[in-house]
Amino acid sequence: MEIRRARHAGACYGVKRALQLVEEAIRTSPRPVYTLGPLIHNPQVVEDLKARGVTMADSIDAIEQGTIVIRSHGVAPAIIAEAKAKHLEVLDATCPHVSKAQAAASELAAAGYRVVVVGERGHPEIEGISAYAGDQVLVVQGPEELPDFDPSARIGVIAQTTQTNASLQTVIKALKSRGLQPKTQNTICFATRQRQAAATELAQEVDVMLVVGGRNSSNTTRLAELCAAACAKTHHVEKPEELAADWFNSARSVGITAGASTPEDQIVAVEQHLAALVADA
């Protein structure tokens, strides 16, 4: 049986940067190290950091002194100001692509646009971006959630960095169908687009598709949805032990992809477990 990995898969630059920053803090900080929420949406990474003494805090209020690492999803500017006011050392691990989305939201709001963000309400990235977008920000997951706008309304549209381009375009199309002329900035990150395209391409060519990464990861979940649309036998797994031998009965080829929050060692572990599993079959 052939095992193939997608051309683009696994941890992106933003995630690698966040991991490097927290590693540096563990090595050099003489004070306790905290992350505000999970550093990345990968349960195994979070557990490893906890075992090494990094505490995950739910709010700045829970931290009296130490080093606080702002997670890759970013936060509202008021939270960073609050941390500095408490004289905490702040290491900002916000993904550069998320920072660009925050800046786009701020620029549109400052120019008088009502900002529409295509993304998942309640997601930490969305909460951070919304704080930059003004009081009238609107978060939608699809065109069906759009309200009635005045025909003269000035609408600006951006997207959560891990959304699909198709999701963004359906919202833009719906706004234009109402006679509006939205000002759009495509803030979906390049790494996300790369991984989605490569995963879809591979899923169309294999009998079984494995998507590796946290189930709480937006970008990994999106990959699993895209793969499932192209390959009926798609399985989203976090750990090698989740693989079941009967998934691969009669399969001639298996594809593997991974979300942008999945480190290389986790992908390799799944590949090795799969190879051993089919060898024993």
Rg (CA), the chain: 21
- Could you give phi then psi for residue 279, rounded to 5 degrees? -70, -30
The DSSP secondary structure of 73-98, one letter per residue, reads T---HHHHHHHHHTT-EEEE---HHH
The residue annotated as part of the active site, out of 89, 125, 127, 264, is 125
CB 33 within 8 A of CB 69: yes
CB 9 within 8 A of CB 267: yes
How far apart (Å, rounded) are the C-alpha atoms in residues 182 and 171? 10
CB 128 within 8 A of CB 76: yes
**Two tokens at 92?**
């900002």
* Amino acid residing at 35: T
Q: Is 125 a catalytic residue?
A: yes
Instruction: Find where tokens 């598709």 sit.
Output: 209
CB 10 within 8 A of CB 263: yes
Q: Show which residues are catalytic.
A: 125
